[in-house]
Chain A
Amino acid sequence: MSTMTEPDQARQNPVSTSPAPHGTQPPWLIVTLREVMVKAKDRSFLISTLVTLVLIVAGVVFNAYMSDRGNDYVVAVSSDAGESVVMLADEQGRADDGNTTFTPLVAGSDDDAREQVRSEEADAALLQGEGDTWTLVGKEDVPSGLSSGLGISLQGFALTANAAESGMSSAELLAGSELEESLLEGNAENQAVAAVAGFAFSFLFYLAALVFGLQIANSVVEEKQNRVVEILATAIPIRQLLYGKVMGNTVLAMIQLALYGGAALLALNITGTADLVGSIIPASGWFLVFFLFGFLILAAIWAVLGSLASRPEDLNNNSMPVMALIFAALAAGLFASGQLLVVASYVPVVSSVAMPIRLLSTDVALWEPIVALLIALVTAVALLHLGEKIYRRAVMQGGSALSLRKAMKLEQ
């Protein structure tokens, strides 16, 4: 560092008289940068982010592997008819997704077949009883894929046999029973992706609201507890300090969100399960914007809670309302549907999750998310404004934790 002064030199000319070069960054930006840098150097934060990233990628890869693998069922049979049913099921399984196979294991008797199930050589035994009754015997349970696959092929097998007896073909018997599905909105595959994406939105928002919200509150309490805030308050307007903190943590939350989302999309692409991802891209874009606004509201609340506390422990007691709000958003994302979801999609904070989910699964007119965003924006601005008032009063107050009412009455 060339600007560093040698100690001896410093002694000779310790107080420079030349005017110091002035920094031009606005104070809130300096606070924002510090919030980001402190967190970026925090080892536990880095590790937890990395672990989450690994879990996300592993989850996607594992999911792809599982759905690729399908199931291989071994079914013990003691009759030719049974063997035929299993073979038919195998044919259908291969035709459907190419991943599910059925292999008959021929046993000498029903008891032998049961024994094979008990010794786990076979997943189940298909036994023909008296008078065209069939029994599927499992050890402790029968895999649902196995029973449904065999059920369908048994129906087909019986249909063919019965048709032959009555001199007709099975196709003739089934004529006019074809049911085609048609959806007014979206398609079935889209719904599955929407469900997964909706879960991801809910959870990511929940995680960020807690982690970075608490971070804001803690950093406010820390400054209040150490009284650094007195020095900061003499250097810059206290409002700038609040804005800087909110901005810094919002930036961190958005970066983390982008990292997680990016990693998930990348993993989906690499594993080749990405063909449906295109359908969630627009909703994901909306989610980013809604996330930002929802987070700003929560950030203002967390900052106020921090300024009311006198020690980090106090946060446990006074954070109930904001925790309730965050849980409401999570619950709306996971469970709400129909009219309730529509209402939720306009409630600030909750809308951050609810509106993107609506956008995923149904057609929503463009004005709806825009109105919801405006409501969230107005709320965010109002809360930041109110938060600033309370923060300014409470953060200078030493002693015990404050209630909101007490804080409003405080003189500065």
Chain B
Amino acid sequence: MLQVQGLTRRFGEKTAVDAVSFDVPSGKMTGFVGANGAGKTTTMRMIMGVLTAQSGEVLLDGRPVTAGDRSSFGYMPEERGLYPKQPILDQLVYLGQLHRMTQGDARSRAQELLERFQLGDRGKDKLESLSLGNQQRVQIAASLLHRPSVLILDEPFSGLDPVAVDSMVDLLREHTEQGVPILFSSHQLDLVDRLCDNLVVLQKGRLVTSGTGDELRAAAPRRHRITVSPDAGWVREEPGVTVIDVAGQDAVVELADDDAAQRLLTNALARGPVHEFSRIRPSLSEIYRGVSQ
């Protein structure tokens, strides 16, 4: 497990990341969300040691992370970085060797990853001759090449078409199955919903919330949908019920506790037929929107 504890970084007067702590559990995908400028990239750069934290630390399996540990991490920086004028396969092999792979191993692994992304026959091409989406795939291959022990990915899905997103997701799942902790930032909340076991939300350099989906859902307000005939307007008068929305037969309400829910249902049945009464499970993106308002 990767743990971030009290990481802080100031640039001059501005505090970009302010005492942020969260966990990235092994074998889980943790989504890292927040508006632009919330401090996601700065946090990731500190985790990778590219930027020095002014206070706080990063722990791997309970002990402070070392440069040796970090060289086994896979990292995809926000500003993509590879050599535009070099052949793809050559530069992947070079990066693999720097990550202490043998040349032969790096070559076969790079070829394997390129084939996964339908780029198997482009190995000799210069990076700049590829479309931006394909360059992005090569960038992903670069971060996965050395069978990383931890993955820190800054916006890995931006610029990918749906097919590439799917093969990327498959690849990442293979890594979590091996117990690799993955932290990735994204603005695509639908993807975060689909992929994440965990969510970390930053706002203006501070941690807003973090936890597993279930934990976050449990902490979120309890909302129910109720559909009755002939009209749901009466729910406004009910005690312990905050109405979010009423339209004809439908109402979405926020209930203080279970008792309030039971009372509402009993009263509804007393007034006429009830077609639906259900708890709304908020998506992670809804939770994100809720906490970052």
Chain A: residues with CB nearer than 8 A to chain B?
1, 3-5, 7, 10-11, 14-17, 20-23, 25, 27, 30-31, 34, 38, 222-223, 226-237, 396, 398, 411-412
Per-residue contact bits, chain B 72-109, to A (CB 8 Å; 1 contact, 0 not): 01010101111110100000001101111111111111
Q: Are B75 and A20 in contact, CB atoms less than 8 angstroms apart?
A: no
Residues of B within 8 A of A22 (CB): 100-102
A-B residue pairs in contact (CB < 8 Å), sample of 30: A3-B105, A4-B107, A4-B111, A5-B108, A5-B111, A7-B120, A15-B175, A20-B101, A20-B147, A21-B105, A22-B100, A22-B101, A22-B102, A23-B97, A23-B101, A23-B103, A30-B97, A30-B98, A223-B81, A227-B77, A228-B83, A230-B77, A230-B81, A231-B77, A232-B98, A233-B50, A234-B70, A234-B73, A237-B67, A398-B79
A14, A25, A227, A411: the one within 8 Å of B97 (CB): A25
Q: Which residues of B contact A23 (CB under 8 A)?
A: 97, 100-103, 105-106
Chain A, Cβ-Cβ closest to B127? A226
A235 to B98 CA separation, bound complex (whole angstroms): 6
A-B CB proximity, top 3 nearest = A227-B81, A228-B81, A235-B98
What is the distance, in angstroms, from B276's C-beta to the closest C-beta of chain A? 43
Chain B 134-148 interface 0/1 with A at a Cβ cutoff of 8 Å (1 = within): 000000001100110
Instruction: Point out the residues of chain B lying under 8 angstroms from A226, CB to CB.
Output: 80-84
B174 at the A interface (CB under 8 A): yes
Given contacts A15-B147, A237-B67, whether A34 and B94 have CB atoms under 8 Å apart is: yes
Which B residues lie within 8 Å of A31 (CB)? 98
User: Beta-carbon contacts of B46-83 to A below 8 Å, as 1s and 0s?
Assistant: 00111110000000000000010011010101011111
Check B224 for interface membership: any CB of A closer than 8 A: no
Q: How far is the CB of A231 from chain B (nearest CB, A)?
A: 5
Whether A3 and B107, one on each chain, are in contact in the complex, defined by CB atoms closer than 8 angstroms, is: yes
Q: Does B178 contact A (CB under 8 A)?
A: yes
Type the 1/0 row for B157-181, where 1 means its CB is closer than 8 Å to any CB of A: 0000000000000010011011000
B197 at the interface (CB under 8 A from A): no
Question: What residue of chain A has the Cβ atom nearest to residue B144's Cβ?
Answer: A15
Known: A7-B115, A20-B147, A23-B97. A229 touches B48 (CB 8 A): no
Residues of chain A within 8 A (CB-CB) of B79 are: 227, 230, 398
Residue total for B at the interface (Cβ-Cβ under 8 A): 48
Distance A237 CA – B70 CA, assembled complex (angstroms): 11
B122 within 8 A of A: no
Q: Are B116 and A228 in contact (CB under 8 A)?
A: no
CB distance from B197 to the nearest CB of A (A): 19
Contact A236 B98 (CB under 8 A): yes
Cα distance A17–B70 in the bound complex, in angstroms? 20
Instruction: State the main secondary structure of chain B at its contact with A.
Output: helix
* Known pairs A7-B115, A231-B142 / 13 extra A-B pairs, C-beta < 8 Å: A4-B111, A7-B116, A11-B116, A14-B116, A14-B171, A20-B109, A23-B97, A30-B94, A226-B82, A230-B45, A231-B81, A231-B143, A396-B51
Given A4-B111, A237-B67, CB of A229 within 8 Å of CB of B81? yes
Q: Shortest CB–CB separation between residue A385 and chain B, in angstroms?
A: 19
With contacts A226-B83, A231-B142, A234-B50 taken as known, whether A14 is within 8 angstroms of B112 at the C-beta atoms is: yes
The CA-CA distance from A30 to B93 in the complex, in Å, is 11
A21–B71 touching, CB < 8 Å: no
Alpha-carbon distance A10/B99, docked complex (angstroms): 21
Cβ–Cβ contact A235 & B171, under 8 A: no
Query: Chain B residue with minimal CB distance to A15?
Result: B174
Nearest Cβ in chain A — how far from B177, in angstroms? 8
CB A312 to nearest CB in B, in angstroms, measures: 12
Within 8 A of A (CB), among B15-52: 45, 48-52
Minimum CB–CB distance for A99 against chain B, Å: 53
Contacts of A236 in B (CB 8 A): 71, 98
A412 to B45, CA, bound (A): 11
Contact B49 A234 (CB under 8 A): yes
A14–B177 Cα gap in the complex (Å)? 12
Q: How far is the CA of A229 from the CA of B73 in the complex (A)?
A: 15
User: By the criterion CB–CB under 8 Å, are B175 and A412 in contact?
Assistant: no
Whether A222 pairs with B83 at a CB distance below 8 angstroms is yes
Contact of B75 among A7, A21, A222, A231 (CB under 8 A): A231
Identity of the chain B residue whose Cβ is nearest the Cβ of A25 in the assembled complex: B97
Complex contact B86–A234 (CB within 8 A): no
Partner of A14, one of B80, B86, B94, B174: B174
A222 to B107, CA, bound (A): 24
Known contacts A15-B147, A234-B49, A234-B71; A227 and B80 CB within 8 A of each other? yes
Question: Which of the residues B50, B86, B107 comes within 8 Å of A38, measured between beta carbons?
Answer: B86
A71 to B67 CA separation, bound complex (whole angstroms) = 73
The minimal Cβ–Cβ distance linking B242 to chain A, given in whole angstroms, is 47
List chain B residues, Cβ under 8 A from A21: 101-102, 105
Chain B hits for A233, CB < 8 A: 49-50
User: Distance (Å) between the CB of A196 and the closest chain B CB?
Assistant: 39
With a CB–CB cut-off of 8 A, which chain B residues contact A30?
94, 97-98
Instruction: Please tell me if the beta carbons of B112 and A10 are within 8 angstroms of each other in the complex.
Output: yes
Q: Quick one: which of A20, A25, A222, A396 contacts B105, CB cutoff 8 A?
A: A20
Name A412's closest neighbour in chain B (CB-CB): B52
Q: Which residue of B lies closest to A10 (CB)?
A: B112
* B178 touching A17, Cβ below 8 Å: yes
Residue of A nearest to B108 (CB): A3
Query: Which one, B52, B86, B108, B175, contacts A411 given CB within 8 A?
Result: B52
